[in-house]
Amino acid sequence: MFDCFGAGQQLTEVTFAGVDWRTSPQDAGPLFAALPVLRRLHELLWHLAEARTRPEAAALEPEVQALEASVGRAAAAPAPELPGLGLDGVHARVGELLARVSEAVRAGVPGRAADRRGADLVGADLRGVSLRGASLRGALLIGADLRSADLRAADLLGADLRAADLRGTDLRESLFLTVPQLAAARGDATTRLPAWAERPAHWAH
């Protein structure tokens, strides 16, 4: 499942003012060049919006709001400027701030599990394991067995959940989880999700 975090809608309705590349093929190239940049910016905005709602990180809210506004201005750039935007610096700034938000949220988690940031957990047997409050940022969890694992308040920013088994997994209050991550994993009716999340249609019932 491809999720553009609302970038596609903004691109067609705002950036290109309703232009349809199928009826205006001359705009197809610029539109497709702008889409990945705008998608990346909208993904950053998605995470910053979540960071702003975390009461444990209230002290960081002014910084989150300022950076959110900055990224929003970049996302509103005219179409010809989007492909040339240098996003590495913006991405680094957002990543550093989200790391501080994550630490503020996870600091008070009871029985906080050890961090496994960037860990290679491909195919790992993590059935029933408590990963509550752990940083799994950038971890490779491809095909991992996470059935009935506790991932409450775990930081999942950039974690690769492709084909991970989330049946019975508790993901409530997990940090920086996205729709594409859920769509890439396997779950069912027993998977406990954050309040904002919808159960992917292809999951088992």
Domains and CATH numbers, the chain: 7-106 (no CATH), 112-205 (2.160.20.80)
The neighbouring-strand residues paired with 90 are: none
C-alpha to C-alpha distance for 76 and 69, rounded to whole angstroms: 11
pLDDT at 98: 97
Average pLDDT for consecutive 10-residue bins of the chain (205 residues)?
Answer: 57 57 58 75 92 96 96 82 79 95 96 97 98 98 98 97 98 95 96 94 84
Cβ count within 10 A of residue 5: 20
Q: Do the Cβ atoms of 67 and 93 come closer than 8 Å? A: yes
Residue 72's contacts (CB-CB under 8 Å, 6 or more residues apart) are 45
pTM of the model as a whole: 0.84
Structural contact between residues 177 and 194, judged by C-beta atoms closer than 8 angstroms = yes
66-123 pLDDT per residue, tens: 999 999 888 887 777 777 777 788 889 999 999 999 999 999 999 999 999 999 999 9
Please, which residues have CB within 8 angstroms of residue 20's CB and are 6 or more apart in sequence?
Answer: 12
Torsion of CA 163, 186, 102, 98, to 10 degrees: 60
pLDDT at residue 1, as a whole number:
41
For residues 136 and 91, what is the distance between their CA atoms, to the nearest angstrom? Answer: 18
